[in-house]
Amino acid sequence: MLEKNKCFGCEFQSSATKFLKTEELEKLEKCSVGISFKKNDIIFKENIFSSNVIYLKKGIIKLHKKTSSKEKIIKIVKSPNYLGIPATFNEKFHYYSATALSDTIVCFIQKEKFKDFIYSNADFAYKIIKCLCENEIILLEQCFNKSKKNVRGRIAETLLFFYNKIFHKKKFIIPLTRDEFGKYIDTSRESVSRVLTEFNNDKIINLTAKNVEILNEKLLEIISENG
Amino acid sequence: MLEKNKCFGCEFQSSATKFLKTEELEKLEKCSVGISFKKNDIIFKENIFSSNVIYLKKGIIKLHKKTSSKEKIIKIVKSPNYLGIPATFNEKFHYYSATALSDTIVCFIQKEKFKDFIYSNADFAYKIIKCLCENEIILLEQCFNKSKKNVRGRIAETLLFFYNKIFHKKKFIIPLTRDEFGKYIDTSRESVSRVLTEFNNDKIINLTAKNVEILNEKLLEIISENG
DNA sequence: ATTTTTTTGTGATATATATCATATTTTTTA
DNA sequence: TAAAAAATATGATATATATCACAAAAAAAT
């Protein structure tokens, strides 16, 4: 659904666009559209040529990709954040699909205009560089952690990720099905079920369907570290 | 070993510094030093505060990181390439260590001066953004592939990576021990040995110690895709 | 409200890969 | 050049996790 899009004084302004001057913000407003998505709506699909920078203004989304029948969830991203800058700036197709995990608002910004701001405003450019740098470090951590932990460790880590990085509350609703959870941490839905019920039995979490409350954060951290 | 460092007319100039003007190159020369490393020398260590942008001018290196006794090789990088920009620009400690896998020359560039170029030269800034974008896509591919392939597939993929991305020849010397190979693709040294001898027996490769010749590229690609 | 579809839980079994053990080869050091 | 250390190969066994099978619960569709 098309949203009225106001860049000047936008309550969800990105840390980069805060550096844009009034006339640049007016330009931005003209070259961008805001669109709202409902849970499970596809925001963009992999292998589509990317001609827009995408700004996740509000909501939580998953980035995912298919290979020969199997699917993997690469990343879970919360607003505010840019999506698909790498594909867009390399004149490439989107490497992954993006699907809303909650009701979401997204701005599509014309690539060429976005690039103009990089050329006209060095503070903006530097901020974009910093965003890309942060993303790379997060991705590195993710790769590294995943390869060094067993299933229990990865599930503990993910529960802590939801708590610390997404919801900031010990009580939350897992925004994934068991199957999606498995596709995120590279395991089967059955293993996710088993470990979650184990954590529940051990009073580390309180689990009812998708509702979780973290009861023993300390222990969850230990499991996350040592498997 | 300290190298004489000439930025203007440097034969290993990066795609970004090609955009620098003569006076900027002179500045660059003043704020950077070139250092040569021998195979197995440590270029920088993880958890060290990063105050330089590091440009890999010549050679092949591994980026690696330890956790509680175990080690993982995160990436193998060939010149020309920048290293550690994310850590440097986020005022952070290096996330990983870098060790030379061949004789190597590296330039250390003062972070603040490098940042000045981003502010003074938009073409340079944009090129750096593109470098970061490329790195992110490579990292994403790596994460994705690793999680979807079995050991045979990952070894086949790595052999093709050495051929296509590093040496550009079907005959090369694996720049890793079996143990390091295992730490790169998240498996044990024994599994690496077994699969490599299997490939050798099946005439897919010709293997003598670290010397490899790819005999059946097509089949290696199929194994890489389907495990 | 009832039917259909999707999601989840859990036991039994299979399997890929790790780990252990030992021999051999290669490399490094003295 | 010999001795010591490191790297490699390979068989035997252990183990974590996947897969299969089926039942139950929850969600979606009619």
| A91 torsion bin: left (phi>0), alpha (psi -120 to 50), beta (else) | left
Among the candidates B128, B145, B162, a domain finishes at B145
Length of chain B: 227
List, chain by chain, residues whose CB lies under 7 Å from nucleic acid strand C. A 177-179, 189-190, 192-194, 196-197, 207, 209-210; B 150-152, 186-188, 190-191, 209-210
Residue position matching structure tokens 């000045």: B116
Residue A193: its pLDDT value, please? 98
Residue A120: its pLDDT value, please? 95
> Does one domain contain both A8 and A44?
yes
> Does one domain contain both A23 and A118?
yes
For the cut 80, the answer to whether the pLDDT of residue A69 exceeds it is: no
Residue A204 vs residue A84, higher pLDDT: A204
Local structure of residue A202 (DSSP, 8 states): T
Percentage, residues of chain A above pLDDT 70: 99
- Any idea of the CA torsion for A37, A42, A43, A48, to the nearest 10 degrees? -160
Residue A226: its pLDDT value, please? 84
Write out pLDDT tens, residues A36-67.
999 999 999 999 999 999 999 999 999 999 98
Question: For residues B67 and A148, is the Cβ–Cβ distance under 8 A?
Answer: yes
- Strand C bases with any atom < 7 A from protein Cβ: 7-12, 16-21, 26-27
Residue B72: its pLDDT value, please? 94
Point out the residues of chain B with pLDDT beneath 70. 1, 4
> Does one domain contain both A70 and A114?
yes
> Does one domain contain both A89 and A113?
yes
Comparing CA positions, the residue from B89, B93, B112 lying closest to residue B44 is: B93
User: How many interface pairs between A and B have CB atoms less than 8 angstroms apart?
Assistant: 117
Closest nucleotide to B208: CA versus each C1': D8
> Does one domain contain both A77 and A120?
yes
For the cut 90, the answer to whether the pLDDT of residue A148 exceeds it is: no
For the cut 90, the answer to whether the pLDDT of residue A227 exceeds it is: no
Query: pLDDT band at A92, cuts 50/70/90?
Result: confident
Among the candidates A96, A119, A145, a domain finishes at A145
- Chain A residue with minimum CA distance to B73: A144
Write out pLDDT tens, residues A94-145.
999 999 999 999 999 999 999 999 999 999 999 999 999 999 999 999 999 8
> Does one domain contain both A24 and A98?
yes
Residue B106: its pLDDT value, please? 95
Residue A70: its pLDDT value, please? 84
Say how many domains are in chain B: 2
Q: Which domain holds residue B166?
A: 149-226
> Does one domain contain both A222 and A153?
yes
CATH number for B205: 1.10.10.10
Taking contacts as CB-CB distances below 8 angstroms, the residues of chain B near A130 are 89-90
